Structure 1
Amino acid sequence: MKTIPSPDDVLAFEALARCGSFTAAAELLGCTKSMVSLRLKALEKQLGAVLVLRTTRRLALTEAGQRLLPHAQALQQSLLQMQPAVDSAQCAVEGPLVVSAYVSVSQLLSPILADLAREQPGLRLRLEVNNRLQDPIADVLDFCVRSRQVHDEALVARPLGWVQEALYATPDYLAAQGWPQTPDALAAHRLIVDGAGLTLCRGEELRPLPLASPLLDCNLYQNNLTLTLQGRGIGALPDFLAQDALAAGQLRRVLPDWYSDRWPVFLVHPYRQPMPRKYQVFLDFVLPRLRAALQPAP
């Protein structure tokens, strides 16, 4: 099986056929006449056919050269269209854009993406929601939200802020069961938590509180929020998830000087330089809105 001819050799042949002389073809290609001649000889040798007949006054294509010419012209036209095609992909704010987020942060992200979709109707935005640590490259994602740590130097990690988990309860629950004034007083309350234990923090002070029988141990914050709003106990919830109910008076912060956990959040994506225009539009729109919703670095 013969190898594929060198594109440079084919383009030299096309330029020679178009210009009609080695001198003009060399000027067009920005090389020497001897280079055009070498490329033509290499192409003829590889194809096993004479392509150009040379006389002292003119050039003429052989039958093989005439049959090759349309293919050479198609290659030349295809190469001319490459840069505009790439420029279009780089500059256009359109096409698919896939983002992954874990469940709780997706509730922050989804309305922001809906606003972006309304502002940029050419984008086809998709939000994938799960609590699995996803690899943007292997999972074919444009962006994903990661929490706590980013263990991959191949990714760009843009800090979004911090999530703080604290204790919340409804006014009715607290009126009926009493307001706990110290961490030890939580032992008398029904707790809705993620995990078998609870550690409260205040500055440098840590207070581990083993829970013998929490009301519910659930790793889905939305379920914990629902149960807390139903007045079933004191819930350990991320601040951004509780903020609307807190502002509406549906929840109260319990032990406001203490929090139960705190961790950083990042928006990560594969390294790309230069970055497509739609990526930059996404970052300019999403980053400030997510950062405004999360806590600044402690």
Structure 2
Amino acid sequence: MARPNLNDLSAFVTVAREGSFTRAASAMGVTQSALSQAMKALEERLGIRLLTRTTRSVSLTEAGERLFAAIGDRLDEIETELDALTELREKPAGLVRITTGEHAMRAVLLPKLMPLMHKYPDLRIEFDVSYGLRNIVADRFDAGVRLGESIDKDMIAVPVGPQLRMAAVASPAYLKTHPAPKVPGDLVKHRCINLRLPTTGGFYVWEFAKNGRELNVRVEGQVAFNTSPHIVDAAIAGLGICFLLEDELSPDIKAGKLVPVLEDWCPLFPGYYLYYPSRLHPSPAFSLVLNALRLSSAVTTSPGRTQKRKALPGARR
């Protein structure tokens, strides 16, 4: 037996409540003839009479009473939930979980999402600031924000931040007693402040590029850290040259506490991407977050296929 659809059942409930095809048709915005045909078709599919028709009224048969008692309130509940979903679309609410690094949080996410949260008080965002890479599917995150080289190829990736640049810097006091390096290879003669990577456990290999030529340098020094703020403090204290994202160092460069070196070996490279599973069906809340973060000229890309940098200090935190 073919199953009736919800439209047929909703029409039946309306007729039962109104006790009249005329009033029911008016309430539903259809013709009386179309409604009458729909009820006849419903009865034929069920194989039982639901309505007793007279010239002046419509009443329920025993089967009709039973069906009305069973589905009347349930259809009301369904309509209420559908209305709630419509309201949710128009007034987004719910939880969005994002895993990211410390720098991306400060530089991209908070500046863009704080105004959004003021505008939509029912929107909730949970940030997971991780020193390593999280599995967003297994750990049930809606999305992650990382540099392109960190992103699996089966993810949808959308650029959300401007281009970035690395900077090698040292304190004026350090450079008074140590001649500034002219090329990256000169760093082997200097004390450098190392970064222990959370993902691999090894030290970050400093990556430089100029005129299409790429050069990696393994540096040595007196001190190493696994967090960039402490590296900055050590550089200001004169313990050596450090290599971090330029905007993490900019306030101290402007204040004269740090001096850039090897600037012509530090080109721009693509910035942060928001990534999420390709099979994800975005909720209204997530769509709102995505639109707030997306660059105005952004095009969905697959950065993992082109990004060459192996790892970046600060960017992974």
User: Counterpart in 2 of 1:186?
Assistant: 187
The answer to whether the 8 Å contact 2:192/2:221 transfers is: yes
User: Counterpart in 1 of 2:42?
Assistant: 39
How is 1:53-132 mapped onto 2 (pairs within 5 angstroms)? 53-54=52-53, 58-109=57-108, 111-112=110-111, 115-116=114-115, 119-120=118-119, 122=121, 123-132=123-132
SS at match of 1:268: strand
1:265 to 268, 272, 282: 272
What is the identity, as a one-letter code, of the residue corresponding to 1:173? Y
The answer to whether the 8 Å contact 1:200/1:258 transfers is: yes
SS at match of 2:238: coil
What is the identity, as a one-letter code, of the residue corresponding to 1:84? D
In the alignment, structure 1 residue 167 sits paired with structure 2 residue 168: yes
How is 1:243-254 mapped onto 2 (pairs within 5 angstroms)? 243-254=250-261
Distance 1:282 1:173 in 2: 44
SS at match of 2:167: strand
User: Counterpart in 2 of 1:295?
Assistant: none
* Cα displacement string for residues 136-181 of structure 1 (whole angstroms, at most 9, x for unaligned residues): 5554444431212444566251352322222111222222334333
The answer to whether the 8 Å contact 1:98/1:141 transfers is: yes
What is the identity, as a one-letter code, of the residue corresponding to 2:239? R
Q: Once structures 1 and 2 are overlaid, which stretch shifts more, 273-282 or 223-232?
A: 273-282
Distance 1:159 1:118 in 2: 18
The answer to whether the 8 Å contact 1:200/1:261 transfers is: no
The answer to whether the 8 Å contact 2:145/2:272 transfers is: yes
SS at match of 2:244: strand
Provide TM-score, normalisation by structure 2: 0.69
Q: Once structures 1 and 2 are overlaid, which stretch shifts more, 201-210 or 276-285?
A: 276-285
Q: Once structures 1 and 2 are overlaid, which stretch shifts more, 183-192 or 26-35?
A: 26-35
**Unmatched 5+ stretches in structure 1:** 289-298
Q: Once structures 1 and 2 are overlaid, which stretch shifts more, 74-83 or 272-281?
A: 272-281
Q: 1:175 to 1:165 in 2, by over 3 A?
A: same
What is the identity, as a one-letter code, of the residue corresponding to 1:170? S
Distance 1:110 1:264 in 2: 13
Q: 1:127 to 1:210 in 2, by over 3 A?
A: closer
What is the identity, as a one-letter code, of the residue corresponding to 1:209? V
1:225 to 209, 232, 242: 232
SS at match of 1:191: coil
Distance 1:105 1:216 in 2: 25
Q: How many matched pairs?
A: 281
User: Counterpart in 2 of 1:200?
Assistant: 208
The answer to whether the 8 Å contact 2:163/2:270 transfers is: yes
Distance 2:246 2:160 in 1: 18
Give the CA deviation at 1:80: 3.4
* Cα displacement string for residues 20-79 of structure 1 (whole angstroms, at most 9, x for unaligned residues): 35676567474453332121343465xxxx643445664322345334424433234234
Distance 2:214 2:155 in 1: 36
What is the identity, as a one-letter code, of the residue corresponding to 2:42? R
Provide TM-score, normalisation by structure 1: 0.73
From the two aligned structures, give the one with the greater strand fraction.
Answer: 1
The answer to whether the 8 Å contact 1:23/1:33 transfers is: no
**Unmatched 5+ stretches in structure 2:** 196-202, 297-317
**Percent of pairs identical after alignment?**
23
In the alignment, structure 1 residue 239 sits paired with structure 2 residue 252: no
Distance 2:93 2:213 in 1: 50
The answer to whether the 8 Å contact 2:155/2:275 transfers is: no
Higher relative contact order (Cα pairs below 8 Å, separated by 6+ residues): 2
- Aligned-pair Cα RMSD in Å: 3.9
